[in-house]
Chain A
Amino acid sequence: AQSVTQLGSHVSVSEGALVLLRCNYSSSVPPYLFWYVQYPNQGLQLLLKYTSAATLVKGINGFEAEFKKSETSFHLTKPSAHMSDAAEYFCAVMGVNAGNMLTFGGGTRLMVKP
């Protein structure tokens, strides 16, 4: 079975500050990992994905994530927060033996203060 844990249901940063959203996964097979963003009243949009190539993955809007197998982590970072980054962020795992569906974490709501 697979699972995803996102530490911190709410994270607040100041505009221009570092963004760090934490994600730890559990998977019995090498995973594919995803970060999605959800803006209010909108669907999920893919930020980035890890599919066993480079461990540091760059995504849209300046976000990146690093896959660390030893720590079973896939934390999302952005060097400088912008007001438009305020949204809900979801980490998800897709295992190759898992029927191809995504298992999501509980989400982290990012708030950006001016």
Chain B
Amino acid sequence: GAGVSQTPSNKVTEKGKYVELRCDPISGHTALYWYRQSLGQGPEFLIYFQGTGAADDSGLPNDRFFAVRPEGSVSTLKIQRTERGDSAVYLCASSLNRGGLGTEAFFGQGTRLTVV
């Protein structure tokens, strides 16, 4: 596709429920990132994939959060037993390769998750 696509754009769920957020990166981009943006704050890193493997998951806040990228393209962020504090905009980004050379990451429009 032309850009990074995230679905759904909005998700409202009840406390304690399970949710899945999907990210379709730009075709050919091997690196994929998930960030979380709470209200009034900058995005915070969650997890980074290089191909199919999670190269760095140090930003995941706890074991309720998990992400997969089984075929090295689409990624799903999974949140179990959601809490009201999980409410935020979840952003996905992709780039051509490892960002150590300053490679630009392209961001999707995000999924706004509201836990009620």
Alpha-carbon distance between A100 and B9 when the two chains are bound, in angstroms: 26
Instruction: Check B55 against A99 for contact (C-beta < 8 Å).
Output: yes
Within 8 A of B (CB), among A37-69: 41-46, 49-52
Alpha-carbon distance between A46 and B93 when the two chains are bound, in angstroms: 12
Among candidates A9, A94, A106, residue contacting B102 with C-beta atoms closer than 8 Å: A94
Instruction: Check A100 against B98 for contact (C-beta < 8 Å).
Output: yes
Contacts of B43 in A (CB 8 A): 44, 90, 102, 104
Instruction: Check B99 against A101 for contact (C-beta < 8 Å).
Output: yes
- B108 on the A face (CB < 8 A): yes
Among candidates A32, A46, A49, A90, residue contacting B42 with C-beta atoms closer than 8 Å: A90
Among candidates B59, B98, B107, residue contacting A44 with C-beta atoms closer than 8 Å: B107
Interface size class for chain A? 20 to 34
Instruction: Check A107 against B56 for contact (C-beta < 8 Å).
Output: no
21 contacts between A and B (CB under 8 A): A6-B42, A32-B99, A32-B102, A43-B107, A43-B109, A44-B43, A44-B93, A49-B104, A50-B102, A51-B102, A92-B42, A94-B100, A96-B100, A100-B31, A102-B43, A104-B42, A106-B40, A106-B41, A107-B40, A107-B41, A107-B42
Alpha-carbon distance between A52 and B101 when the two chains are bound, in angstroms: 10
Interface residues of A (CB under 8 A from B): 4, 6, 9, 32, 34, 36, 41-46, 49-52, 90, 92, 94, 96, 99-107
Interface residues of B (CB under 8 A from A): 3-4, 31, 33, 35, 40-45, 48, 55-56, 58-59, 91, 93, 98-102, 104-110
Instruction: Check B110 against A43 for contact (C-beta < 8 Å).
Output: yes
Instruction: Check B56 against A44 for contact (C-beta < 8 Å).
Output: no
Alpha-carbon distance between A104 and B40 when the two chains are bound, in angstroms: 12
Q: What residue of chain A has the Cβ atom nearest to residue B93's Cβ?
A: A44
Among candidates A36, A90, A102, residue contacting B45 with C-beta atoms closer than 8 Å: A102
Could you tell me the distance in whole angstroms from the C-beta of A38 to the nearest C-beta in chain B?
9
Contacts of A43 in B (CB 8 A): 3-4, 91, 107-110
Could you tell me the distance in whole angstroms from the C-beta of B15 to the nearest C-beta in chain A?
25
